[in-house]
Chain A
């Protein structure tokens, strides 16, 4: 239930722009600026299609122990992580 509520919360336009830049530039260090993958896996809609959105949001928020994926919770809320996943699974803004 919490995550449904979280998805409903859309960040402000200014915050969206910050998150997009964060994903492209800083997540891009490992996942590629075009999200085509690097040391980390590709994050294009085709790569994510079969994965549950909640699990992906949790990966962003809490990280994935045993892999280089760190937790990003000090830089965003769970709702914002869910918004990023939603955008990644459709078409991520430039």
Chain B
């Protein structure tokens, strides 16, 4: 009896000592750009649960997740790379890896975190466990000339594809041996400003600023080189001024079509992914910045550059046109869908809050206070190529 009691007691004690178990699938974080902090959120409860500061300059910060969804890697503008534990809500490790960074990516096997840098131009690979520097690839496109790197995307085979803004090339670097990367170069076009990889990991697209068109590299047949698609989509007309560069990272490939922001035109370009020919264009209310498909592909949500950054247009991909014009807040910088798309979270920078809308009714269903919020990143990105 005594033995039984002490056993029971031990069990009870044990139960008390064991922290409450929690999964990571419905967690995420919101970047608060001006104050160098992030708010950790739960997408089921639609509530914040912690806030972490001390992350440096988070303007234009981006985030990738370890494949377990527990650790977030945050790339700051000031070159800071911070690894955060979402379960314990704390910084695990933080390094300053460059002078001026623009984002990063994580390898297919989850072991490498790669940062893309403006200054000095190039990419750097870090051990995802320790953030120890393993190797770097300077973007030296001509002797002594270094380019800003944009559009870095993880692609199958522990490779990374990216574009050189100043060099006008697409590079693919293979990190099969992390300390000895090998790089292939492909001429792309004038001033690539961002890139994306299609959801299957096959095509890398680099949007061009210096000319009308998009450079496309088939990663299954890279020896064929990059070719131009959507050439001369501006039809030689005068471009409208672009007060903020579009982002391709929130790519939209839905129902066999890619939806891309036009440059200097208030339009979303629609391309057939089988032929890479333009099949339509959809007028919208400003210079598109993010053109993002709801996970099921039925809707594409579009936000805009200054001065139209209080507007959001929703395209129905079946109808092929805007079906909802919204004004969800001031300074809408980013959007993120719940993992299966029933809700969308939008950061309203100038209202200092993140607003949550139902994507079927478009009604507001919640909001979260945040200081100058910009990027919103959910752990559902962990398992997706190119995120």
Q: Which A residues have a C-beta under 8 Å from some C-beta of B? A: 25-26, 28-30, 32-34, 36-39, 63, 68, 70-72, 75
Cα-based distance from A75 to B241 in the complex (angstroms):
12
List 9 A–B pairs whose Cβ atoms lie within 8 Å, in order of A's numbering: A32-B77, A33-B34, A33-B77, A36-B77, A36-B78, A38-B100, A38-B102, A39-B245, A70-B243
* Main secondary structure on B side of the interface with A: loop
Q: Which of A26, A32, A34 contacts B306 (CB 8 A)?
A: A26
9 further interface pairs, Cβ-Cβ under 8 Å (given A25-B349, A36-B77): A26-B244, A28-B59, A32-B59, A34-B57, A34-B59, A37-B100, A38-B102, A63-B241, A72-B243
Q: Is B33 an interface residue (CB 8 A)?
A: yes
In the complex, which residues of chain B have a beta carbon less than 8 angstroms from the beta carbon of A32?
Answer: 57, 59-60, 77, 100
In the complex, which residues of chain B have a beta carbon less than 8 angstroms from the beta carbon of A38?
Answer: 60, 77, 100, 102, 118
Measured CB to CB, the closest approach of chain B to A48, in angstroms, equals 17
Q: Which B residues have a C-beta under 8 Å from some C-beta of A? A: 33-34, 57, 59-60, 77-78, 100, 102, 118-119, 148, 150, 165, 191, 193, 209, 241-245, 306-307, 331, 349
Q: Which of B245, B331, B349 contacts A30 (CB 8 A)?
A: B245
Contact (Cβ within 8 A) A70 B242: yes
In the complex, which residues of chain B have a beta carbon less than 8 angstroms from the beta carbon of A33?
Answer: 33-34, 57, 59, 77
Measured CB to CB, the closest approach of chain B to A71, in angstroms, equals 6
Contact (Cβ within 8 A) B60 A29: yes
Measured CB to CB, the closest approach of chain B to A26, in angstroms, equals 5
Name A24's closest neighbour in chain B (CB-CB): B34
Q: Which of A34, A36, A37, A68 contacts B209 (CB 8 A)?
A: A68
Name A30's closest neighbour in chain B (CB-CB): B245
In the complex, which residues of chain A have a beta carbon less than 8 angstroms from the beta carbon of B193?
Answer: 39, 68
Cα-based distance from A70 to B244 in the complex (angstroms):
9
4 tightest Cβ-Cβ pairs between the two chains A and B:
A33-B59, A70-B241, A29-B244, A26-B306
In the complex, which residues of chain A have a beta carbon less than 8 angstroms from the beta carbon of B57?
Answer: 32-34, 36
Measured CB to CB, the closest approach of chain B to A35, in angstroms, equals 10
Cα-based distance from A26 to B241 in the complex (angstroms):
14
Assuming the A-B contacts A25-B349, A34-B59, are A39 and B148 also in contact, with contact meaning beta carbons closer than 8 angstroms in the complex? yes
Measured CB to CB, the closest approach of chain B to A33, in angstroms, equals 4
Contact (Cβ within 8 A) A25 B331: yes
Cα-based distance from A83 to B244 in the complex (angstroms):
22
